[in-house]
């Protein structure tokens, strides 16, 4: 799969002034002062409080709703049921249009498909009245048998979850299959027969919650001119606007203020449709703030997945086969069903491009639990746990150090993988040749920094504790190529500042800041000269939204293009004002400087252009859509300590060595990896949803659903490889998702190193380790 050298010169020779520095976040001061910047902080006079009546049953037909008692309550303004909202099928997934997710959802339906599914929308003058009204609505359900075990969702005779005639885009709803995918390269069975060593295993990953701190929130109102306006804590304002129009046939303006975390959980339309329905019905502003319980039980989780993996190698350590047979649980609705499953393959398989035969296939099935959706990593953390764990076991059986084995078989600069072309998101992908890949540096420099070889030699057991080390490799992407588009507008002001208008959606990641840094670099000025306005569909240019590791790369390239064109506009204006040819002019520190040493500031230029000279406003808009999706790479090292008496696992050290190209803002980039690592540790060790026998989620708050707290986090280190992606803005690739791909396999591999147990099911609970240790002792 090696391709001829392209002769690309990968240069980092450019000295950056703003990029690759850790300027403070442009919104940092407002946030740290606790300003009113989040959706629920806005005072909208006269706003109704919206609450949702939710299903107590996992699967039922609504026979009859009597809201008369609720409506009779003073202060209740409306109660909407499925009869009162448009019957339009859609997908909640915020994705490029047309979406690869099935249209299997209604604002309200006459059937409920999980405990928590919406039954009715209540709007009242106060929260207390709304809550009382919920209790007064009488609903008669015809309870249906439910599908709760995803491994049997498509068995013969299982109840059909989506039997509505309007459904479209699902693979085989009559068998509860939302999506299906399969691909292969060569014949895996024939190739496996030729392998000297083969490892087989079945791996399970669960359905954790995003658990972002800010619950889902939206407000809607008519502005003074009658334009529907929606303020929402969303990652996808433009998709919200499009989906609202699709459902209600109404044009709207969607504004995303600061949002309190998302991680993919806000890459879907949840609350917006409910407040819109109320505002359209009553003409009044409407506010809906989900409770933590609703955020846990009635939004999205990660897709739980099962992978049956077969990998095989020859004695010399050449990986010959990867065969992954998957099953993904999308829950009651199919948002992101196909695409998360395909990403599970497309963002893992190309890492091992030396392999001869590959197969990746499986179903994504409906069940009667909370729907799964987009969640940081988007399928890759699930499959990388399976693939990397299996490769680790293979290396062990080959008698090779896992670093050597994974390095020997992984991709390098100038190479490609046929998987890039075969697997996109919901369709074929695009060919690409890797122009930046420092996985070798990540592995080798990381091993040194981690003391890998010394640590591996140390005795494992000391008293009642055992220690072990594990390593995991990962890749991700930077945007969905040939689909994701982002725009940027730059307007120059007469005080020498610029308005940077971007559709890109900062969900706490710092994208407003890094985009301002990119613009400042290209315009030879400083970040503080940029006033950033983002994510207002009436003001900013289109952007697909914050997902698919695309903002730095796609929105960053759009911003860079716009800034470069603004630079040309400034030079042209200066040339006219100064009466010098453009070739004799250059930009420096917010000024245009001529060869003869004369200069004019940006402020002076725009002031003249406003009032006295060839009058015009300098403003440019540029867009960017990528033909490729350059993967970031990462190697992580975990050291765990296991209490042999209780099975408790502690992650003592976790080092991630990352190739994300140029980190535009190193401190913010590091924060992305640190945050993802801890979310990963949560997924591996703590976070598990428990359902009762009727499909009700029991773990619906932060008491019963444990996310890592400060004391759970020991020593986490992040280093960046020196890397430069020629197609990225100032050499940058993505960094926000990849950090979630490695914790599971690295920790599982470390547990094996410590106590010889291969854990194949997440989360790894103390009691599982305890009983595995007991069983081991028995069989000795």
Partner 1 sequence: MKVEFKVNDRKHSIEIEPGELLVETLRRLGYKSVKHACDTASCGACSVQLDGNPVLSCRTFTAAVDGHEIKTVEAFSKEGELSAVQKALVEEGAVQCGFCIPALVVTAEALLNENPNPTEEEIKTYLNGNLCRCTGYVSQNHAIMKAAELRRNSASVPAGNQGELS
Q: Which residues bind partner 1 (CB under 8 A)?
A: 22, 24-25, 27-38, 40-41, 210-215, 258-263, 289, 291-293, 507-510, 665, 667-668, 670-671, 674-679, 701-703, 707-711, 713, 716
Q: ω before 763 within 30° of 0 (cis)?
A: yes
- At closest approach, how far in Å is the CB of 400 from partner 1? 32
- At closest approach, how far in Å is the CB of 270 from partner 1? 17
Nearer to partner 1, 653 or 727 (CB): 653
Distance CA 658, CA 739 (A): 9
Query: Nearest Cα to 413, choosing from 445, 381, 438, 376?
Result: 438
- At closest approach, how far in Å is the CB of 31 from partner 1? 3
Distance CA 657, CA 673 (A): 10
Nearer to partner 1, 38 or 542 (CB): 38
Query: Nearest Cα to 477, choosing from 626, 334, 624, 372?
Result: 626
Nearer to partner 1, 229 or 656 (CB): 656
Task: Give the start-end residues of each E strand in 169-216.
Answer: 177-185, 197-205
Task: Give the start-end residues of each E strand in 515-584.
Answer: 530-534
The continuous run of DSSP H or E covering 666 comes out as helix 666-681
- How many other C-beta atoms lie within 10 A of the C-beta of residue 482? 17
Nearer to partner 1, 70 or 678 (CB): 678
Query: Nearest Cα to 713, choosing from 755, 650, 656?
Result: 650
Distance CA 48, CA 68 (A): 19
Nearer to partner 1, 513 or 559 (CB): 513
Nearer to partner 1, 234 or 252 (CB): 234
Tokens of 578: 């100064």
Task: Give the start-end residues of each E strand in 348-394.
Answer: 357-366
Q: Are 529 and 491 in contact (CB under 8 A)?
A: no
Nearer to partner 1, 23 or 422 (CB): 23
- At closest approach, how far in Å is the CB of 674 from partner 1? 4
Query: Nearest Cα to 552, choosing from 477, 484, 478, 656?
Result: 478
Query: Nearest Cα to 723, choosing from 643, 638, 632, 650?
Result: 632
Distance CA 256, CA 358 (A): 42
Nearer to partner 1, 36 or 174 (CB): 36
The continuous run of DSSP H or E covering 502 comes out as strand 498-502
Nearer to partner 1, 32 or 143 (CB): 32
Residues 352, 9, 665, 432, CA torsion sign: negative
- At closest approach, how far in Å is the CB of 545 from partner 1? 16
- At closest approach, how far in Å is the CB of 41 from partner 1? 4
Nearer to partner 1, 195 or 664 (CB): 664
- At closest approach, how far in Å is the CB of 738 from partner 1? 14
- At closest approach, how far in Å is the CB of 260 from partner 1? 3
- At closest approach, how far in Å is the CB of 641 from partner 1? 17
- How many other C-beta atoms lie within 10 A of the C-beta of residue 593? 18
Query: Nearest Cα to 61, choosing from 144, 180, 118?
Result: 144
Q: Are 588 and 571 in contact (CB under 8 A)?
A: no
- At closest approach, how far in Å is the CB of 668 from partner 1? 5
Nearer to partner 1, 173 or 675 (CB): 675
Tokens of 169: 């885009």
- At closest approach, how far in Å is the CB of 716 from partner 1? 5
Nearer to partner 1, 27 or 725 (CB): 27
CA 631 to chain centre: 15
Nearer to partner 1, 139 or 546 (CB): 546
- At closest approach, how far in Å is the CB of 546 from partner 1? 12
- At closest approach, how far in Å is the CB of 73 from partner 1? 18
- At closest approach, how far in Å is the CB of 566 from partner 1? 28
- At closest approach, how far in Å is the CB of 19 from partner 1? 16
Nearer to partner 1, 79 or 668 (CB): 668
DSSP string for 14-65: SPPSSTTS-PPPTTHHHHHTT-S-BGGG---TTPEEEEEEE-SSSSEEEEEE
Tokens of 498: 């610029």
- At closest approach, how far in Å is the CB of 381 from partner 1? 15
The radius of gyration computed from the CA coordinates of the chain, to the nearest angstrom, equals 27
Tokens of 769: 């380790």
The b-or-e profile of 498-518 (16+ CB within 10 A means b, else e) is bbbbbbbbbbbbbbbbbbbbb
- At closest approach, how far in Å is the CB of 686 from partner 1? 12
Nearer to partner 1, 108 or 678 (CB): 678
Residue 201: exposure state from Cβ atoms within 10 A (0-12, 13-18, ≥19):
middle
Nearer to partner 1, 97 or 702 (CB): 702
Instruction: Give CA separation, 484 vs 162, 481, 548, in Å.
Output: 30, 6, 9
Q: ω before 536 within 30° of 0 (cis)?
A: no
Nearer to partner 1, 22 or 575 (CB): 22
Distance CA 251, CA 607 (A): 37
φ, ψ of residue 665 to 5 degrees: the values are: -135, 100
Query: Nearest Cα to 38, choosing from 219, 196, 169, 174?
Result: 219
């Amino acid at each position: 799969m090696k391709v001829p050298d392209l002769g690309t010169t990968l240069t980092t020779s450019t000295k950056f002034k703003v990029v690759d520095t850790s300027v403070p976040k442009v919104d940092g001061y407002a946030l740290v002062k606790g300003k009113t910047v989040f959706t629920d902080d806005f005072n909208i006079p006269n706003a109704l409080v919206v609450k949702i009546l939710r299903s107590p049953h996992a699967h039922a037909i609504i026979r009859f709703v009597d809201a008369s008692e609720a409506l009779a309550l003073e202060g209740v303004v409306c109660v909407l049921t499925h009869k009162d909202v448009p019957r339009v099928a859609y997908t909640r997934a915020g994705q490029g249009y047309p979406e690869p997710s099935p249209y299997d959802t209604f604002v309200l339906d006459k059937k409920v498909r999980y405990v928590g599914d919406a039954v009715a929308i209540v709007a009242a003058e106060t929260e207390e009245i709304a809550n009382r009204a919920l209790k007064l609505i009488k609903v008669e359900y015809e309870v249906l048998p439910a599908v709760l075990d995803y491994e049997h969702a498509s068995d013969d005779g299982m109840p059909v979850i989506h039997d509505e005639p309007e459904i479209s885009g699902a693979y085989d709803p009559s068998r509860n299959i939302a999506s299906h995918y399969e691909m292969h390269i060569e014949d895996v069975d024939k190739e496996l027969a030729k392998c000297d060593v083969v490892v087989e295993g079945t791996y399970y990953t669960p359905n954790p919650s995003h658990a972002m701190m800010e619950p889902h929130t939206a407000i809607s109102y008519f502005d003074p001119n009658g334009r529907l306006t929606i303020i929402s804590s969303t990652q996808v304002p433009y998709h919200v606007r499009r989906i609202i129009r699709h459902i209600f046939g109404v044009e709207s303006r969607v504004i995303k203020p600061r949002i309190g975390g998302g991680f993919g959980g806000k890459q879907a339309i949840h609350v917006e449709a409910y407040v819109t329905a109320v505002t359209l019905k009553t003409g009044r502003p409407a506010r809906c703030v989900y409770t933590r319980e609703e955020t846990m039980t009635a939004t999205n989780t990660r897709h739980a997945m099962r992978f049956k993996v077969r990998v095989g190698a020859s004695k010399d350590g050449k990986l010959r086969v990867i065969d992954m047979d998957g099953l993904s649980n999308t829950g009651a609705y199919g948002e992101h069903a196909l695409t998360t499953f395909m990403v599970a393959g497309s963002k893992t398989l190309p890492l091992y491009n030396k392999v001869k035969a590959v197969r990746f296939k499986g179903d994504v099935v409906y069940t009667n639990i909370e729907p799964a959706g987009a969640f940081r990593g988007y399928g890759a953390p699930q499959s990388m746990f399976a693939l990397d764990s299996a490769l680790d076991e293979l290396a062990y059986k080959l008698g090779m150090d896992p670093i050597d084995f994974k390095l020997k078989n992984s991709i390098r600069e100038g190479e490609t993988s046929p998987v890039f072309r075969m697997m996109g998101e919901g369709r074929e992908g695009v060919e690409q040749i890797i122009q930046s890949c420092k996985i070798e540096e990540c592995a080798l420099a990381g091993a040194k920094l981690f003391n890998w070889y010394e640590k591996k030699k140390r005795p494992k057991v000391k008293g009642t504790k055992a220690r072990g080390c594990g390593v995991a490799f990962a890749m991700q992407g930077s945007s969905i190529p040939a689909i994701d588009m982002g725009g940027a507008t730059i307007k120059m002001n007469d005080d020498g500042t610029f308005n940077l208008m971007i559709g890109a959606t900062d969900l706490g990641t710092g994208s407003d800041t890094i985009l301002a840094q990119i613009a400042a670099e290209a315009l030879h000025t400083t970040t503080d000269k940029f006033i950033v306005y983002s994510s207002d569909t009436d003001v900013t240019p289109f952007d697909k939204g914050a997902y698919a590791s695309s903002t730095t790369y796609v929105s960053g390239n759009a911003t860079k293009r716009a800034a470069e064109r603004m630079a040309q506009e400034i030079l042209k204006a200066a040339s006219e004002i100064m009466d010098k040819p453009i070739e004799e002019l250059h930009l420096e520190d917010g000024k245009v400087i001529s060869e003869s040493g004369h200069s004019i500031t940006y402020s002076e230029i725009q002031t003249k252009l406003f009032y006295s000279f060839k009058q015009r406003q300098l403003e440019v808009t540029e867009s960017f859509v990528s033909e490729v999706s350059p993967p970031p790479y990462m190697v992580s090292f975990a050291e765990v300590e296991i209490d042999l008496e209780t099975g408790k696992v502690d992650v003592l050290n976790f080092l991630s060595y990352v190739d994300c190209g140029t980190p535009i803002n190193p401190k913010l980039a590091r924060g992305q990896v640190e945050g993802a690592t801890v979310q990963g540790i949560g997924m591996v060790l703590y976070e598990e949803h428990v359902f009762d026998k009727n499909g009700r989620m029991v773990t619906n708050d932060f008491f019963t659903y444990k996310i890592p707290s400060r004391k759970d986090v020991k020593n986490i280190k992040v280093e960046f490889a020196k890397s430069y992606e020629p197609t990225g803005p100032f050499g940058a690739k993505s960094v926000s998702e990849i950090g979630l791909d490695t914790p599971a396999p690295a920790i599982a591999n470390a547990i094996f190193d410590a106590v010889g147990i291969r854990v194949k099911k997440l989360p790894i609970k103390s009691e599982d380790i305890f009983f595995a240790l007991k069983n081991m002792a028995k069989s000795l």
